[in-house]
């Protein structure tokens, strides 16, 4: 069994509460009494992509548990890489590989996997074809019923679908961007979107307002056991 905490969209500098909310969630994760194998952060790390925002994020995301991060549409890769690390990161654990890939497009809010990112994923996923793998990125590859986000989702999702077809050991796809915990499917696999730490986006069914800043930050807890992924979505209020 492996257990992963998945957080997203901390948007440091994006609101007065951004630092407190990220700190609250990290404190919760790092005080778990039980098993936690890794922490995954699927983008939108710094709201304005400023080096000082990344420095704050780096300090907040310090963890004795292995932690990997990818950029989002609010991030810029040069600043991200200067402070946080490579834009594509992989964790090779006993029994599972987790690859987080850069789906950002410079100057745009929608996403796309560049040729070199697809090539990187192909290489990483080819290393251990017998070991289950998870692939994560910022942008969800399907529409989620959140109109604002749906317009700026992953473009050319068929490129990701083709990659997954080449690597049947990929168990699920993980994403962020939508600021709402979502379970759906893509290319025959679960697609799990982590809630937003900085805020929550609502569906038109729930509210005419797009953003809720009062709902608590939340995370996804992925439990992978005997080939099955089970995800718990958990708000953090203290
Ligand atoms: Fe975001």
Q: Which tens digit of pLDDT belongs to each residue from 161-188?
A: 999 999 999 999 999 999 999 999 999 9
Q: Are 50 and 78 in contact (CB under 8 A)?
A: no
Structure tokens at 161: 């679908």
90 beta partners: 99
Centroid of ligand 1 to alpha carbon of 40 (angstroms): 15
Q: How far apart are CA 203 and CA 226, in angstroms?
A: 34
CA 228 to ligand 1 centroid distance, Å: 28
Cα dist. 115→85, 101, 196 in Å? 20, 12, 28
Distance from the CA of 176 to the center of ligand 1, in angstroms? 7
Q: 126 C-alpha vs ligand 1 centroid, how far in Å? A: 30
Q: 195 CA distance to ligand 1 centroid (A)?
A: 10
- Is the pLDDT at 55 greater than 90? The verdict is yes
- Paired tokens of 157: 């999702």
d(CA 30, CA 53): 22
User: In percent, how much of the chain has pLDDT > 70?
Assistant: 100
Report the chain's mean pLDDT, rounded to a whole number. Answer: 97
C-alpha of residue 46 to centroid of ligand 1, in Å: 9
- pLDDT for residue 100 is more than 90: yes
Exposed/middle/buried for residue 214 (C-beta within 10 Å: 0-12, 13-18, 19+): exposed
Query: How many domains would you assign to the chain?
Result: 1
Kindly give the distance from the C-alpha atom of residue 219 to the centroid of ligand 1, in angstroms, as a whole number.
Answer: 14
pLDDT, tens digit, for every residue of 217-231? 999 999 999 999 999
Q: How many angstroms does the Cα of residue 28 sit away from the middle of ligand 1?
A: 21
Average pLDDT over residues 138-163: 97
If you count them, how many residues does the chain have?
238
Spacing, Cα 16 to ligand 1 middle (Å):
15
Q: How many CB atoms lie within 10 A of CB 105?
A: 16
Q: Are 152 and 111 in contact (CB under 8 A)?
A: yes
pLDDT at 79 over 80: yes
Helix, strand and coil percent figures for the chain, each rounded to 5 = 25, 30, 45
CA 132 to ligand 1 centroid distance, Å = 28
Share above pLDDT 90 across residues of the chain, in percent, rounded to a whole number: 98
Cα(61) to centroid of ligand 1, in Å? 17
DSSP letter for each residue of 158-225: HHHHHHHHH-TTEEEEEE-SSSS-EEEEETTEEEEEPPPSS-EE--TTT-SSSEESSSPPEEEEEEEE
In this structure, what CATH number is given to the domain that contains residue 63? 3.60.21.10
For ligand 1, the distance from its centroid to the CA atom of residue 49, given in whole angstroms, is 12
Query: Which has the closest alpha carbon to 38: 235, 220, 230?
Result: 220
Confidence at residue 177, expressed as pLDDT on a 0 to 100 scale:
98
Q: Can you give the pLDDT at residue 238?
A: 77
Whether residue 61 is predicted with pLDDT greater than 80 in this model: the reply is yes
pLDDT at 162: 98
Residue 129 alpha carbon to ligand 1 centre in Å: 32
For residue 39, what are the domain limits? Answer: 2-235
Averaged pLDDT, 47-66: 97
């Amino acid at each position: 069994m492996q257990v992963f905490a998945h957080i997203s969209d901390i948007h440091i500098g994006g609101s007065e509460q951004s630092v407190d909310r990220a700190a609250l969630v990290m404190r919760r994760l790092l005080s778990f009494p039980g098993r936690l194998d890794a922490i995954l952060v699927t983008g939108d790390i710094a709201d304005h992509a400023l080096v000082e925002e990344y420095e704050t994020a780096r300090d907040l995301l310090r963890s004795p548990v292995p932690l990997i991060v990818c950029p989002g549409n609010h991030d810029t890769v040069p600043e991200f890489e200067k402070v946080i690390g490579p834009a594509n990161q992989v964790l090779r654990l006993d029994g599972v590989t987790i690859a987080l890939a850069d789906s950002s497009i410079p100057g745009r809010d929608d996403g796309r996997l560049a040729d070199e990112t697809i090539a990187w994923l192909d290489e990483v996923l080819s290393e251990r074809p017998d070991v289950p793998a998870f692939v994560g990125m910022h942008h969800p590859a399907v529409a989620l019923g959140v109109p604002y986000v749906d317009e700026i989702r992953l473009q050319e999702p068929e490129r990701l679908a083709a990659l997954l077809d080449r690597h049947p050991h990929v168990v699920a796809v993980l994403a962020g961007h939508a600021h709402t915990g979502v379970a759906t499917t893509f290319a025959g696999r679960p697609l799990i979107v982590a809630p937003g730490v900085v805020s929550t986006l609502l569906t038109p069914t729930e509210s005419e307002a797009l953003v809720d800043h009062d709902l608590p930050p939340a995370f996804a807890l992925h439990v992978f056991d005997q080939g099955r992924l089970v995800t718990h979505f958990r708000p953090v209020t203290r």
